[in-house]
Chain A
Amino acid sequence: MASTSPLPSSSHRLPTLSASQALSTSQSTRSRISTGSQELDKAIGGGLSRGKITELCGPPGSGKTTLGLQSAANALLSGDGTRVVWIDTSHPLPVSRLGAILSRSGDPRELFPNLQTIRTPTLAHLLTLVVHPLPTFPPENTSLVVIDNVSTPFTVAFPPGMEEEGGGGGGKVKTEPVGVRRFAIMGDLISALGKLAGSKGVAVLLLNQMTTKVIPGVGAMLIPSLSSPPWTTSLNSRLLIHYNKTSPSLLADPDDTRLSQIRYVTILKSNGASHSSDSSRPVTRLQIQETGVGDVKLVSEASPAAPAMKAYGFARGKRKRGLEAEVIPGSDEEGDGESDGNEDEGSAGECTSGRRQQRVIDSAQGL
């Protein structure tokens, strides 16, 4: 039997916090960590919030890691020996890039000791770290924990197509389908992360990859690799970083800004409120540079940074062929509450007109 250790005397008294105190702490700037893009910070209420989980998903090369590095650098630079924990599950933290980002406004050598990197190459490692945390995790004065990335361990533990061979096996012992275990473990992980964020007051940033889902009649769409109703509910903010075309005429200094460095962030959920319809989802632009994340300077600040585009949704009955061969049906299982394809024609129509309007603006400014 696990011997019950005597409780420390301090825990007899419950620390109380008045509602107004709580409000002021939650609104103070110290409770937020900047992502490096002012536009994005504004859209999510001032940055990554401490005590909450923020998820950033996007296809390869969209800049997930860079945004993570920039947030880590900002947390480190906020002073007072603030610590950051970087958990890598697949590839090691690119130290040279973090150094380049830090050296923009600080001395990397002074700040690196405040960064702890932890490696969890498999799901078992990650779960052990988070679900059975050691008392030293996360260290005192940690403001940010980044997991780069949270989906690879699941991909390795539950590879595509595994659902099919589940269930049937065994024989004497009844087993549940592998897919069910996947969702259960996702639930365990996200609730442990929520507890960690809440109890230690750290901001948790999860980087999530994308997988494909075939929508009949539309084609292969990208959806976050890890997604389930409890998962999505536990997230305070969910950001989708992706590529899109940018008209060079929109840029304030086209010579300075490289189009290939511009990314779009669609805010699927911010501060607990999910933006379910496509047209209401804020979209911000940012720029991925050698020295980190920056804002994109546009010709006129008055022009809407977010065209009413359908950034994350499904088109009207349009048939698309070509890459369906690349689709892995095993990954279709995600019960993503958001990705229900039954969108009414009305809102789709609205979207189209909004986009066309934006195009007119784009082309007008080009002249």
Chain B
Amino acid sequence: MSDLLTLFPTFPLTPPVSNLLNFIGDARLTTADLVALDPMSISRRLPSQLNTSLLELKSLQRTLVEHIHADIARLSSLPPPRTITTHSPTLDRLLNKIPTQAITEFAGESGSGKTQILLLLTLTVQLSPSRGGLGRPAVYISTEAPLSTLRLIQMKNYISRDLPVGEQPTTDKVFSIVCSDLETQEHIIRYQLPVLVQKFNVGLVVIDSIAANFRAEFERPMNRNKKLRSSNTSTPSSSPSSSSTGAPSAGARHGSQMAQRGKEMVRLAATLRHLAINHNLAVVVSNQVSDKFTPSASSRTPLSSSSSARDRDDDDDDIMSLDFQLKWFAGCDEGLEGGGKIPALGLVWANLLATRVVIRKSEDPKTGESRRSLRVAYSNRALAGEEVGIEVFEGGVKSVNDGGDECS
């Protein structure tokens, strides 16, 4: 099936197109192909017994190009992005608020407060535009623990304290969906979410967390493969890409699984972005983190007096290695040498985000109290690098630097 109708559902299905559509799909011609190829090459790819006239294909291409040009004009004239406040002046400044039409990620370990921020946003999105919201409801898709209603009510009561009755956020306007596996998740996001968004004019879609189902489906079997590989020591190790042998090696299977995971992530992000742009809504997701294992963490610090033996193991060599560059865009740069925690799902996912925010949790050596700090790892609209301490409180999450608005 060609992607023509998925991409352009309003494309007119008049006779030449409707007759050809199935053949176009069979020939695996995508809409991009139909645009890029000349009619002669299109006709060569269609079954020869079809006898399509070049003229017909030419007119199909012309209609398609005109249709897409109209779509580009429509998309380009959509209203500009809006923003949602976090209810904390410091965080608003640091993040430049939460934008619509883009995917924003909050990554951090469990208990770092990322869910708290997401919950808070489901309420602030309901505030009127003059108070920093969009005046629209939110959808909360949870893949781990279900929505914590009690906590949400607590936050709602706090936020509503000094708001007139009509302008208070309500829990009625937070739609909650639970997806416990990847298949459900994909179905819900692809087919049900657009309907919900359309029906209730949703302004914010939250997914908490994006990683859970991907990791559950793709990482566990990976471990099983690893075990299989280690128990079967006679298997010659082969590169992940060589799958030509009759029984694919564990490495190849793992490789294709990673490819499959990448494909699902790309699809998911494309669907979310499509929703975000067409409905001018914000997509905010949380991500888990995993430990990063760096063997030479301690030996790297001294810049001078490097013995040749140590130099061989020095990471500085591969400046363009994933390991080396990852430290920065994973949000753990020079301040956090070595064993930092990196957001899950890898580079493919990282490339699909507009903003990544990383929350770190550390323990105060004296008091034993846990401290949380938040920083922008990268963003196309806010400057990365600055780190602020945050704390979770009755009304959600605020920066330790806020202070001022507490007294009012």
Contacts and interface: CB of A to CB of B under 8 A. Distances in A.
B31 A124 contact: yes
A123 B32 contact: yes
B36 interface: yes
Nearest to B242: A329
A156 B262 contact: no
A199 B41 CA distance: 26
A214 B71 contact: no
A60 B347 CA distance: 8
Contact of A60 (B96, B316, B378): B378
B381 A359 contact: no
Q: What band does the interface of chain A fall in when counting residues whose beta carbon is under 8 Å from B?
A: 35 or more
B241 A332 contact: yes
Interface string A268-311: 00000000000000000000111000000000000000000111
Nearest to B334: A259
B35 A132 contact: yes
Given A124-B31, A124-B68, A327 B240 contact: yes
Interface in B341-383: 346-348, 350-354, 356, 377-381, 383
Given A121-B277, A127-B32, A322 B270 contact: no
Interface stretch (B118-126, B177-185, B251-259): B251-259
A87 to B, nearest CB: 9
A156 B334 contact: no
Nearest to A245: B334
A134 interface: yes
Contacts of A65: 380
A61 B26 contact: no
Interface string B72-109: 10011010110000000000000010010111000000
Contacts, number: 287
A96 interface: yes
B351 A222 contact: no
Interface in A182-226: 184-185, 188-189, 209-212, 214, 216, 218-223, 225
A97 B338 CA distance: 32
B328 interface: yes
Nearest to A181: B33
Contacts of B306: 356, 359
B33 A185 contact: yes
Interface string A356-367: 100110110000
B194 interface: no
Contacts of A122: 7, 31-32
Contact of A363 (B45, B46, B303, B353): B303
A1 B103 CA distance: 46
Nearest to B312: A318
A125 interface: yes
Interface in A144-183: 151-152, 155-157, 159-162, 164, 166, 169-170, 172-173, 175, 178, 181
23 contacts: A2-B58, A59-B325, A90-B273, A92-B80, A119-B78, A120-B75, A123-B30, A125-B75, A127-B36, A129-B72, A132-B35, A173-B28, A211-B347, A214-B239, A216-B239, A218-B318, A243-B324, A245-B334, A260-B384, A312-B320, A313-B320, A315-B321, A352-B311
Among all A-B residue pairs, the 4 with the closest Cβ atoms: A61-B378, A161-B259, A326-B346, A160-B262
